[in-house]
Structure 1
Amino acid sequence: MINPDRRGMAGRILMLASLLCLTLGALLAWQVQAQQDERTALVMTVDDAIGPAISDYFQRGLELAEERDAELVVVEMDTPGGLDASMRSMISAMLASPVPVAIYVSPSGARAASAGTYLLYASHVAAMAPATHLGSATPVQMGGGGLPGLGGEEEAEGESESAGEEGADADAADEAAEDEPRRGETAMERKVLEDAVAYIRSLAERHGRNADWAEQAVREAVNLTAREALEQNVTDVVATDLDDLLAQIDGRTVVMEDGERTLATADLVIERFDQDWRTKLLAVITNPNVAYFLMIIGFYGLIFELSNPGSLVPGTIGIISLLLALFAFQVLPVNYAGLALILVGLGLIVGEALMPSFGILGIGGIVAFVIGSVMLMDADNLNISLPMIGGIALLAAGLMLWVMTRFIGLRRRAPRTGQEELVGSEALVLEDFEGKGHVRLMGERWNARSSQPLSRGQTARVTAVEGLTLIVEPLDSAS
């Protein structure tokens, strides 16, 4: 029989365990509900040129904000500009985001230049810290040229000088022409410029900002300080810090994809989403200098592997480096004429090493390599460092010079194989003879012929080889 006291104790233990489970479940549910009720603002940081890595980081941040049902996304920005394709993908993601995005140019001294100006105009809330500025949104000409219309400005100045000699009426006409907005000189410049103007005006009109100044920033590359931007309705807020920003935009109405929304930013919990290893790795690989260096390593690694099959290490490093470089070039604004010149130049330098042409191939390869390296990138903010180009060119020239000196030294060196090697060698006379006899050379017995008498044990020098007969003479006579 079961003791009634033991049965009562077991019941009490079971009841206590049940109460403990219920309590833990209630606490867990309360914590989950508290987390769901907690209103957050996701804060990201963009402090570099706009490129594929920043675009990927920005879009992942928007997805995270949507998953966590954040009230607001704040992007603290300090950028000199960047790639048009990356900027447009960021703007498209921002406009389609269900979470409002505030671009905050900070800290003091930061800027939102070029692509940063477009992003600021596209944001639901455009904010700046004191002592910051924006502008210079003129698209750079393909190939790293100057501002569109610059040649036209110089031409207008030249026309003004010549017209000044003709009279005041011509001067007035030229001044009126200079007041016209910049349109670009070539068809390509006009196409790029007008597309950029239409794009930034559409962003300004969507959020009710100053579209005329936006057009001026594109055509004339003008800039504004934070206070001037607020006064001219380019931005919405000038805030000293993040808390001040959230306090000022509380209750502001913004335009979202599905209509207007009133922001409730008071007492938001700030959650930061910093750049992780993936973003940093992508930023390193897509750095033009790194991609350029990876391409050089990959090219030479494959050359060394093909010249020494079975080495494995150069080939492995080379193929990995080349694949990473090709990935970077896929997302970077590469000028393919420049890339072709680099490959041709490297090929000519290697050709000089394999079949010497007294410097013709090598010098041509270095010239093609340097020109292609300068032309490689189409964006001003992503150009390859000139010292790096010069350093690699000097390294290639040094390698070529070393190869040439080695070949010259080999040509001057005495032969080491064949009949040519025997000429000048010293042989031991095996018997007394004048005319025909025998000598020992390199451990072998040879027929010999001499016009002078030779004695057994005497040393003779080989002067020529005729078939299997050595022409010799006494060593004293030869010296």
Structure 2
Amino acid sequence: MGKPFQIRLIFFYCFLFAGLLFSTISCNSTNETLPNDQSSEGSSLAEDSLVYRIIIDDEINPSVSRLVRRGIEEAEKREADYLFIELETYGGLVVDADNIRTDILNCPIPVIIYIQNNAASAGALISLACDSIYMNPSATIGAAAVVDQMGQVQPEKYQSYMRGKMRATAEANGRNPAIAEGMVDPSIVVPGISDSSKIITLTAQEAVSEEINFCEGIAPDADSALRLAGLREYAVQNHIPTSTDNVIGFFVRPVVSSLLLGLIVIGIVLEFKTPGVGLFIIISLVAAVLYFLPLYYEGLAANWEIALFLLGLVLLAIEVFVLPGFGVFGILGFTFIACGLGLAMVQNLDKESYEFTLKTSPSTIIRPFLLVASVVILGFISALFLLGKGIQTSYLSKRLTVQSVQSKEEGYVVGRAHELNAMKNKEGRTISMLRPMGKVEIDGKSYHARCEQGYLESGTPIRVDAINGTTLLVSKTINE
């Protein structure tokens, strides 16, 4: 009955992962087409223009960064005249916002952005990178101070970095750099706008004013924004991510990556604590594939980083099954696994030559390793909790672990002091391999024993040299 149960459990995990993939594939971008008013008044910048539209309506994260990068690539392939971004975000990760900013600034196609309601924090940096900004009458832009997940403002070095990015981006497109810095630092004084006590957040009316001139116009919808930009006759091509894009975008999200890291760690610990089961290592390997494959496809995880992770698993297996104890192989195994998981999240390939460069800041390297270290610690504690509290008494444990009792009647004894002391100089034989720990049989009873020199095969004649607690110290008998 144990084997069918394992099969059902494996099918359960397969259906779980299939459900995640299906939900991700189903979440394609909208395919609605903007209305095209052929009789729009105003000067025409271009006739029969192709506008390629990208929609950003989520927090800024690796999946959004990938969405924009792929969208720009598609726009260039289709020889679009304009790239049109519809933005609605409260912010997100600075690293991914900076990647999007760089991609937009390097885009050879004019970029128009329409802020539907919010362009806060990372959204403000992305907006400033665009050639033209249009806003809904109720939209706002600004509040770009760097904060943590709890909303607490980060130390000055992070704010300094963000100020520099905002200033450089504003200068690149001819916007007031002081206002851009004021969106990060409340100490920046901008006469008539900020009195150095609050971070700047602009409404649409303020952004479009002549004094500020951060916005080219106010429009009630995206189509009106395009007409306000001077486009009269145009066709809109929506960027629709492929199923592969959606799946990869889902698995590179920080929350999903953290969950996969946790499954990898918990699976490894549970498998080594309950050797011979196999199910936990299968779960761990599946999680590892789902973790590494999207990163490999993105050019983040290299072959050597995956090999580093696999080498770590091999070293751990050697430590557990070949050389019991916790020594050099175990330490190296955990180190290689952590390095493989951490380096896989760091961009270390040149996008043109695909050569190893590791051109990145120390903070970009430290952040993935802090994430890996945190998840490893939490995963290890969770695995120990499952082993100590939940899993030992669960139905799953009864199906997957040995439940038999090693009774005295069957030859298994816990030697008392006087009984073990009587074992000294007695002879017997090994009934398991001693490497260096194992079991020996003396006078028809089995005892825990340790070989002091080398390893002993099962069936080797031995003699008890000493007693250490409840363990017999033995050596191979020499035939005279």
TM-score (norm 1): 0.50
Partner of 2:418: none
User: Which of 95, 98, 102 does residue 92 from structure 1 map onto?
Assistant: 102
C-alpha deviation, 1:219, in angstroms: 0.7
Q: Does 1:112 align with 2:100?
A: no
User: 1:300 and 1:391 mapped to 2: Cα distance?
Assistant: 5
Alpha-carbon distance in structure 2 between the residues aligned to 1:313 and 1:394: 17
1:147 alignment partner in structure 2:
153
Count of aligned positions:
297
Q: Does the Cα contact within 8 Å between 2:270 and 2:387 map onto a contact in 1?
A: no
- Aligned 8 A contact 1:41 1:270 in 2: yes
Shift of 1:51: 2.1
Question: How far apart are 1:304 and its partner, in Å?
Answer: 4.9
| Gap change, CA 1:116 and 1:277, over 3 Å in 2 | same
Does structure 1 residue 417 correspond to structure 2 residue 410? yes
CA deviations 1:352-404 (Å, max 9, x no partner) are xxx9xxxxxxxxxxxxxxxxxxxxx999xxx99x9xx9999778635422478
Cα pair distance change 1:51/1:404, threshold 3 Å: closer
- Residue 300 of structure 1 deviates from its aligned partner by 3.2
Matched, 1:268 2:234: yes
Note the C-alpha offset of 1:312. 5.3
Q: Structure 1 residue 244 and structure 2 residue 224: aligned?
A: yes
Q: Name the residue aligned to 2:57.
A: 47
Number of the residue aligned with 1:102 = 112
Note if 1:200 corresponds to 2:200: no
Residue 317 in structure 1 maps to residue 324 in structure 2:
no
User: Which residue, 218, 226, 233 being the options, matches 2:204?
Assistant: 226
Between the aligned partners of 2:144 and 2:182, the Cα distance in structure 1 is 9
Selected match of 1:301 from 240, 252, 267: 267
**Pair 1:216 & 2:209 matched:** no
Alpha-carbon spacing, 1:283–1:393, altered in 2? closer, same or farther (3 Å): farther
Are the equivalent residues in 2 in contact too, given 1:53–1:283 (CA < 8 A)?
yes
> Following the alignment from structure 1 to structure 2, what is the Cα–Cα distance between the partners of residues 222 and 378?
31
Contact 1:103–1:119 (CA under 8 A) maintained in structure 2: no
Give the structure with higher Rg (CA): 1
1:117-173 CA distance string (max 9 Å, x none): 0111110111111222221211237x9783246xxxxxxxxxxxxxxxxxxxxxxxx
Contact 2:263/2:379 (<8 A) preserved: no
Quote the offset at 1:419 in angstroms: 7.9
Alpha-carbon shift at residue 89 of structure 1 (Å): 2.2
Contact conserved, 2:265 with 2:380, CA < 8 A, in 1?
no
Structure 1 residue 244: Cα displacement: 0.7
Question: Once the two structures are superposed, what CA deviation does each residue of 1:425-458 show, in whole Å capped at 9, x if it has no partner?
Answer: xxxxxxxxxxxxxxxxxxxxxxxxxxxxxxxxxx
Inter-partner Cα distance in structure 1 for 2:107 and 2:269: 49
Gaps of 5+ in 1: 1-36, 150-183, 251-264, 334-342, 356-376, 422-466, 469-479
Q: Please state whether the residue corresponding to 1:218 is helix, strand or coil.
A: coil
TM-score (norm 2): 0.50
Match of 2:87 in 1: 77
How big is the shift at 1:223? 1.7
Q: Deviations over 1:57-110 (max 9, x none)?
A: 21221122222221211111112222223222222221222211111111xxx3
2:408 aligned counterpart, secondary structure: coil
Match of 1:228, as an amino acid? Answer: E
The answer to whether the 8 A contact 2:62-2:253 is kept is: no
Distance 1:418 1:66 in 2: 77
Structure 2 Cα separation of the partners of residues 295 and 419 of structure 1: 40
Contact 2:86 2:222 in 1 (8 A): no
Paired amino acid for 2:63: A
1:397 aligns to what?
385
Give, as a single letter, the amino acid of the residue that structure 2 aligns with 1:241: D
TM-aligned CA distance change 1:415 to 1:218, over 3 Å: same
CA distance in 1, matches of 2:256, 2:249: 10
- Asked if structure 2 preserves the Cα contact closer than 8 Å seen for 1:144 and 1:378, the reply is no
Distance in 2 separating the partners of 1:60 and 1:100: 16
> How far did residue 225 of structure 1 move?
2.0
In the TM superposition, residue 310 of structure 1 has moved relative to its aligned partner by 6.7
> Is the CA contact (8 Å cut-off) linking 2:266 and 2:380 kept in structure 1?
no
Aligned partner (choices 34, 57, 68) of residue 67 of structure 2: 57
Q: CA deviation at 1:284?
A: 1.7
SS where residue 44 of structure 1 aligns?
A: strand
The code of the aligned residue for 1:53 comes to S
The runs of 5 or more residues in structure 2 that have no matched partner are 1-46, 187-198, 301-311, 325-364, 398-402, 415-442, 445-480
Q: Output the amino acid matched with 1:128.
A: M
Contact kept? 2:170, 2:176, Cα under 8 Å = yes
Matched ranges for 1:15-54 at <5 A: 38-54=48-64
Contact 2:48–2:233 (CA<8 Å) still a contact in 1? no
Aligned to 2:249: 283
State the identity as a percent.
24
Once residues 393 and 113 of structure 1 are traced to their aligned partners in structure 2, the CA distance between those partners, rounded to angstroms, is 37
